[in-house]
Each structure stands twice: as structure tokens, then as C-alpha cells.
Structure 1
Amino acid sequence: MEQELTYEAAYAELQEIAAEIENETVSVDVLAERVKRASLLIEFCQQKLRATEAEVNNIIKQMESKPGA
């Protein structure tokens, strides 16, 4: 079973894929596979950021609605 992906791990893998593509070290045979993986990682990171933003905003609203805050 695959280990749960974290934002940091996904971001690091994205940087690695970008470097491979920029440095032309990725072969044409696996280029589409690497781009597809990058797309999935980008989607994961965007979802993680949106969820975190919503959670932080919710916490701030709860703090603001408490008396004496």
C-alpha cells in the first residue's frame, strides 16, 4: 500500500519532475507519464491548499465570534 502523500512530498516531487523536463533528462518515452504525474500532484497540492485555507478561515471566524475576542 502506498504511503499517504503529504503536501511537502508532492511539492518536492513536482520540483524534481520540473527539473528533469527543464534539463531534458527525461526521455521522450516517459515524458507523457511524468507530465501526467505532475498534473496529479498539482491537483493534490491545490486541493490541500484550498482545504487548509478553509480550515484556517473557519478557525478565525470561530475566534472572532467568541465574546471578548
Structure 2
Amino acid sequence: MNEDLTYTAAHNELQEIVSEMENSEITIDELDSKIKRAAELLKICKDKLFKTEKSVQDVLEEIKNYSV
């Protein structure tokens, strides 16, 4: 799995796979690898969203607890 892939790139590739599936552009021979790649992309997106949410929460907590 490529963790260096940005969220946007992973999301775009995932959308491309979904579009290919919806338009019946994926052959049976490709289906297994496309499904596995889609699962990897979903994990990358989910992980990046979780990490971003945690980071934002940490920053907001710091701001809330900041006093002069």
C-alpha cells in the first residue's frame, strides 16, 4: 500500500474505479485486482481523515485551554 498517496489522489483513483465498475468497463479478469485496490484506497482515505480529525481536535483543544 502506498501511504505517500495524498487523500485527493486516493479519492480520485477510487472514484475512477467506481466509475469503471458502474460503466461495466472492468473485465472479470480485472475485477479482483480492482476490488483489492479499492479496499487499499478506502483504507488510505479513512486513515488520513481520522488523522486530520484528530489533529484538528488537538489544535482546538489547545486553543480552548490557552490563557494569557
Task: Classify the TM-score, shorter chain.
Answer: over 0.9
**Total equivalences in the alignment:** 66
Deviation at 1:67, TM superposition (A): 1.0
1:25 equivalent in structure 2: 25
* 3-state SS of 2:43 partner: helix
Identity of aligned residues (%): 38
Question: Quick one: higher RCO (CA 8 Å, sep 6+), 1 or 2?
Answer: 2
Say yes or no: does 1:50 pair with 2:57.
no
Deviating 4+ runs (over 6 angstroms): none
RMSD over aligned CA atoms reads 1.2
Deviation at residue 20 of structure 1 after TM alignment: 0.4
Unpaired segments of 5 or more residues in structure 2? none
User: Which AA in structure 1 matches 2:13?
Assistant: E
TM-score by length of 1: 0.91
- How far residue 41 of structure 1 moved from its aligned partner, in angstroms, is 0.3
When the two structures are superposed, what TM-score results if normalisation uses the length of structure 2? 0.92
